[in-house]
Each structure stands twice: as C-alpha cells, then as structure tokens.
Amino acid sequence: MLKIVAMFFRFIPLYFVLLSLVSSSCVTSGKINKVTDTSEISKPKNIVLLIGDGMGLSQVSAGLYFRDSPSNFERFNTIGLIKTSADGFVITDSAAGATAFSTGEKTYNGAIGMTSEKQPAKTIIESLSERGFATGIVVTSSVVHATPASFYAHVDHRYKYEEIAEFLPTSDLDFIAGGGLKFLNNREDKKDLLQELRLNEFEVLETIPSTIGTNKQAVLLAEDGMPKISEGRGDFLPKATQLALEYLSESDKGFFLMVEGSQIDWGGHANEVDYLIEEQLDFDKTIGVVLDFAQKNGETLVIVTADHETGGFTLSMNGSDYNTLKPSFSTGGHSGTMVPVFAEGPGASEFGGIYDNTAIYFKMMKLLRE
C-alpha cells in the first residue's frame, strides 16, 4: 500500500498536503485490523447505517489510493451492490435514495419520507422508537437536507427546508448533530424551533460537548451545511459520531444511528477532486470510529453504503501512462452505476449480493424483528 501511495505521491504532487493530513488512528499502519467475524450471530442489538452520499466505487477506491495507511473499508468481510434507481427515474436523487433506506419505498425524486402517491411512509426511526430503541442522526450537511430529513420527516419535496425542520422537535430522534440552525431560528414564519426543541427535552448545543448529557441532544454547529474539511470542519464527523455512540449505547433496548458523509456528493457535483477525496477520507476515518466501537460492543451491525454515485467519477490512466491516475468526472450530476454496500457484525451476511436499495430497509427491519 505504501508503495502504491508513494507512486502517486510522486506523480500527483497535488495530493501532498492531503496525504500528510491523513490520520492513521483507526488502523494499524501496514496491517489491516479486521473486525472479529460475528456474522454467524444473526441478531444485532444495534445498527449503525453510514451513508456516503454520492459514494461510488471510484470514490471508495480514491480513498484507498490517497491514504497513507490501509483504509477502514478493508476491515469489512461482507460486500454487496445495490441498484439505486428511483420510481420513474433511472437515476435517483438523494431524497428518493434515502427514503428507500429509511422506509423501503421506491419513490419519486425529491420525496422526503413519502410514497410515490405522496403519502407519509413510516420510517425505521419511527418504527424502532416505538419499540424503545434510541435513535440518532449525524451529518455534515444541514440536518434538514434530503438524506437525514428522509429518516424523520414526511414532506413532498426536499427543498421545503422550513417545513422539514418542523418535524425535528417532535421527532423520535434522541441525538441530532449537523448544521442547519437558520432553518430552526431564522425562519420566514418567525417560529423559534430551537425553543421547541428545548420544550421537547432536547439540550441544544452550539459546540461539540466533551461529555454528553442525559437529555436528548441537538448539536447544531452551522447556519446551513457544515463547512468543508478544507474550510475548517476538523474532526466534527468522527467526533460527533463517537459522542452519538456513547450516548445511544446507554439504551438497554438498543439503538439505530444514521451517519452521513454528506459532502462526498458535493465534491462530485463540483467536479473537485481534492474536495471529494478529503470528504471521502473523513468518512473513512468515521467508519473506523464505528468499527472500533462495534468490535468492542459485539452486538452492533455496521452497514456502509451510498444513495447513488455522483460525478461519473473515474480513476483513469493519464494518456498512455500506466503509472499515473487521472481522476476525472463525466457529469456534474449523479450517475446510474450500482453502489457498494459493506457490512460487518451480527447479521452482516444478509448484505452480500446484488439487490435494490429498498432491500437495505427490509434487511435491517428483519434483523431487528422482535
């Protein structure tokens, strides 16, 4: 691995800074730290679903090439592929993609927790909360953005952010982290949803706490989406994920946590290679935090997947040079390529094979059946 990276290091000096920034905290240098195979145990107590928005196989591969130590993706034993199309669209957007995961519904692009007939579809968070599970979301977008919103809101279109935000105070969520303050406290209707959150037993935090309280937690650190890594987000995603795991694992009944590397998609839309790779590496580090937790915990299923691929991203060769990668894009939008699923922990073996994105929901619900 080091040899391969050194090779790119020489040919693509652009990544010099990136490589030197990469942390190897979650992986022993030069040695893949595989999680103990607990896949023969069929029933997890907890599930962590990590979504790399826009993360196709080339994005995952780029993360492997431009890292100076083995990737946390290499710790998974079960790999599958999902077909990502939406209802009526060959290519999905993030709203329909996330609604497939959260409700099992194939729906139209733009739908937030809604069926094709524009009826609310019950989400995994709503179902599990009723049964006493603790639930959480941690994202690098705003918390009302399409992916997280599809797990707690029911709105006919993704861009109705203020309407989506109204679901938060009375949602079944116990832990919320991401950006999006302005949709809560600087609204056209002048409602103060931060106050509503407090009235619904949330502690609202505008910095990452070092220890976690006992109330429900809403960590809201930006007006809209969180800053890019290159603009100072730091280790928000791994840190907030660690806090969420500490908080949610206090639940006797079990927990469900959705973590999103939201901006892998944004790097793809912008056709910016370094933006994409920085976000991919941050997501990789966060996967390491979750796998380390799951390894100790023993009852947690970890699933990593994507809603779709963004950018038609490829790692082609540079002209006739077999020794140089030339990362490039074929679109500023999404593509229809299948995306990978990685699973580890009790029930992981369910996730091998090729299946529809909606099957992620049905597999999770089957594994957590009473």
- Point out which residues bind Mg ion (CB under 5 A): 53, 94, 147, 262
Q: Which is nearer to Mg ion, 53 or 163 (CB)?
A: 53
Residue 42: CB minimum distance to Mg ion, A: 31
Among Mg ion, Zn ion, none, the one that 127 touches (CB under a kind-dependent 5 to 8 A) is none
Residue 59's H or E segment, with its range, is: helix 57-65
**Counting contacts by CB under 5 A, is residue 278 touching Zn ion?**
no
**Counting contacts by CB under 5 A, is residue 260 touching Zn ion?**
no
Which tokens hold the place of 159?
């861009």
Q: Which is nearer to Mg ion, 148 or 347 (CB)?
A: 148
Q: Which residue is nearest to Mg ion (CB)?
A: 147
Among Zn ion, Mg ion, none, the one that 282 touches (CB under a kind-dependent 5 to 8 A) is none
For residue 63, give the nearest of 356, 246, 279, 208 by alpha carbon. Answer: 279
Any idea which residue has 């979504």 for tokens?
51
Residue 50: CB minimum distance to Mg ion, A: 12
Q: Which is nearer to Mg ion, 154 or 308 (CB)?
A: 308
In 10 A of CB 369, how many CB atoms? 6
Long-range contacts of 106-109 (CB under 8 A, 24+ apart): 106/356, 106/358
Determine the Cα–Cα distance for residues 187 and 291; give it in Å rounded to an integer. Answer: 38
**Binders of Zn ion among 296-355, rule CB under 5 A?**
310
105, 265, 282, 350: residue in contact with Zn ion (rule CB under 5 A):
265
The single-letter DSSP state of residue 93 is -
Find all residues with CB under 8 Å of 357, minimum gap 6, and list them: 82, 83, 84, 92, 97, 100, 101, 307
x/- map, 90-109, Zn ion, by CB under 5 A: --------------------
Determine the Cα–Cα distance for residues 108 and 114; give it in Å rounded to an integer. Answer: 9
Residues in contact with Zn ion, total (CB under 5 A)? Answer: 2
Q: Which is nearer to Zn ion, 260 or 265 (CB)?
A: 265
Residue 263: CB minimum distance to Mg ion, A: 8
Interaction site with Zn ion (CB under 5 A): 265, 310
